[in-house]
Amino acid sequence: MSGGGGGGDENKDGGGRGGNSGGATTIKIKERRRLPDFLQSVNLKYVKLGYHYLIKHLLTLLLIPLISVIFVEGAQTDPDDLKQLWIHLQYNLVSVIICSIFLVFGSTVYIMTRPKPVYLVDYACYRPPQHLQVKYHQFMEHSRLTGDFDESSLEFQRKILERSGLGEETYVPEAMHCLPPQPSMAAAREEAEQVVYGALDTLFANTSIKPKDIGILVVNCSLFNPTPSLSAMIVNKYKLRGNIRSFNLGGMGCSAGVIAIDLAKDLLQIHRNTYAVVVSTENITQNWYFGNKKSMLIPNCLFRVGGSAILLSNKSVDRRRAKYKLVHVVRTHCGSDDKAFQCVYQEEDDVGKVGVSLSKDLMAIAGEALKTNITTLGPLVLPISEQLLFFTTLVIKKLVNNKIKPYIPDFKLAFEHFCIHAGGRAVIDELEKNLQLLPVHVEASRMTLHRFGNTSSSSIWYELAYIEAKGRMCRGNHVWQIAFGSGFKCNSAVWEALRYVKPSPQSPWEDCINRYPVQIVA
């Protein structure tokens, strides 16, 4: 779970937006660059591109002369020498047979034990009905009429809303539209059923998969964990088979969606030739805070209704119709540190009202968790040229000059698309700055936050749907999903597009994508 709004200009110098943008977007240029400086930056740009190209193809460039020499030498070889070599092999037939057996045995072991590819066949994001939308003035008027908030708290919520990056079309559950609000267990179950069944119905309709074909079910919802569990609720609704491996993850925050994918991936390595369904959601009905502690009021302003359902497969036949292949999952847990553990914490306030408190150290802790995560992820995805630059800078910093700034790898060389958890405007701003991304790279995150709010662990799927709806996902493209959650955790999932990906039917963006991107007021 991440939170916190943030200020700052939405559009930064040096970047534009790509794709089929339907809405007008303004790029603010803070200062005019002089021509010599511009030419110098262009030269440096091409020098860097040339360096990356050289390192990437270094092995090929070194092998060409070697192959040429071997070819020339082979052309000059005496035919009698080749005849003698054949006679020698005939007399060593036993050695050849033994080597062949070892080769076949080794190849068989490798094929049988290698990780099974995991394919993302399709996914669906729930879109609530229009009557659940809440505009700013409705939110504030409703908060005032409940009588639970003092003037200071109302003003605080108003400021958070204005700076949050949320638009006027986000959704809150039915119980929060009532006066007074009715956060009952029955209402919470109703919200869960609407979101989960809505996403799953769309997924089954789009993929034509029969519920009986599902062998693995993983559900994650952090704050709502009824008995029977949400996973049991799904088994009952769709009459899933009796030997299904079902799991229900609770209390793991906004990064639990990636954790659920990782769990499903591991299970697909053990149980062959089957499907896994991952459901990611959050429940707001019973977790609205009705007190006046400022750090607990932020989630009220950011969290909104949403959920996703993802269909994974380890069947080789599904590669043809699958959208993506899972490449890497990297998980980082900072829970051993007390500050990190308590930075997103569910507790009672001074008068006994329960809420989720967000620490003022949240962004700093998220930054440290991200550093640890990308330290592990970097060597797996970055080209060797970037790894050499990073290692060289690190050695110089340690041995020569400690004041040298560490080299920040250019992750734009490894990924075409970024899905940063839409936890709040400050989260997106911080990652855009630290990873040196362009506005187009964080567009999906900003627009998802604007249109749907913070939908917790499912936000990264609304973002991926945005990229597809814009027609930007091409064959071979790599996507980096980054999620932060209580505990504190930072988790990453890397996907590779297997084809040009079109948006699936009933996409959450299908009737509004032409209005995006929109300009977000600072």
The Cα–Cα gap between 284 and 289 comes to 10
Q: How far apart are CA 482 and CA 420, in angstroms?
A: 5
Q: How far apart, in Å, are the Cα atoms of 447 and each of 10, 50, 165, 204, 419?
A: 11, 35, 9, 27, 11
Rounded CA separation 400/310 (Å):
50
What is the per-residue pLDDT for 4? 43
Q: Which of 488, 497, 419 is nearest to 459 (CA)?
A: 419
Q: How far apart are CA 408 and CA 367, in angstroms?
A: 14
Catalytic residues: 254, 333, 417, 421, 450, 454
Measured CA to CA, the distance from residue 249 to residue 271 in angstroms comes to 20
Task: Evaluate whether residue 29 is within a structural domain.
Answer: no
Amino acid 38: pLDDT: 37
List per-block mean pLDDT (blocks of 10 residues) for the chain, which spans 522 residues. 42 39 39 39 46 56 64 59 65 71 75 82 96 92 88 93 92 91 93 97 96 96 94 96 96 95 96 95 93 92 96 95 96 93 92 92 91 88 82 76 74 94 92 92 96 96 97 96 94 96 95 91 66
Position 54: which residue type?
L
For 321-394, strand residue ranges (E) read 324-333, 344-348, 354-358
Q: Distance between CA 356 and CA 297 in Å, rounded?
A: 8
pLDDT the model gives residue 134: 93
In a domain, 60, yes or no: no
Residue 252: strand, helix, or coil: coil
Residue type, 469: A
Q: Which amino acid is at 378?
A: G
236 and 224 in contact (C-beta within 8 Å)?
no
Tell me if 91 is assigned to some domain.
Answer: no
Joined tokens for residue 110: 């490798």
What tokens were used for 161? 């809303």
At CB < 8 A and 24+ separation, what contacts does 405-410 make? 408/434, 408/435, 408/436, 409/374, 409/378, 409/382, 410/386, 410/436
Over the Cα atoms of the chain, what is R_g?
27
Is residue 71, in this structure, part of any structural domain at all?
Answer: no
Q: For position 400, what pLDDT does the model report?
A: 74
Q: Which residue matches tokens 């567009």? A: 443
Q: Domain holding 461: CATH number?
A: 3.40.47.10
Tell me how long the chain is.
Answer: 522
Residue 65 in any domain: the answer is no
Q: Confirm whether 315 is domain-assigned.
A: yes
d(CA 112, CA 456): 38
For residues 259 and 263, what is the distance between their CA atoms, to the nearest angstrom? 6
Give the count of domains, the chain: 1
**Which residues are CB-neighbours of 400 under 8 A, at least 6 positions away?**
none
If you write DSSP's letter for every residue of 372-390 in order, what string do you get?
HHHHHHHHHHS-HHHHHHH
Show the tokens assigned to 460: 């990264």
Q: How far is residue 428's CA from residue 419's CA, in Å, rounded to a whole number?
A: 10
Residue 365 has which token pair? 């802790």
Quote the domain boundaries for residue 362. Answer: 119-515
Residue ranges of alpha helices (H) inside 126-184 are 136-146, 151-164, 174-177
Element (H, E) at 32: none
In a domain, 73, yes or no: no
Classify 465 as helix, strand or coil: helix
Residue whose entry in the numeric block shows the structure tokens 């075409």: 416
List the beta strands (DSSP E) in 180-274. Answer: 214-220, 245-249
Tell me, what's the pLDDT at 371? 87
Determine the angle formed by the axes of helices 443-452 and 459-469, rounding to 10 degrees. Answer: 110
Residues near 495 by beta carbon (within 8 Å), at least 6 away in sequence: 120, 324, 325, 326, 327, 478, 479, 481
What CA–CA distance (Å, rounded) separates 490 from 521?
29
Residue 65, burial from CB neighbour count under 10 angstroms (0-12, 13-18, 19+): exposed
Residue 88 falls within a domain, yes or no?
no
Residue type present at position 311: L
| Residue 455 CA: distances (Å) to CA of 156, 174, 344 | 21, 16, 16
Torsion of CA 107, 111, 114, 116, to 10 degrees: 160
Whether the ω angle into residue 391 lies within 30 degrees of 0, i.e. cis, is no
At 397 the pLDDT is 72
Q: Which two tokens stand for residue 374?
A: 């990308």
pTM for the structure as a whole: 0.81
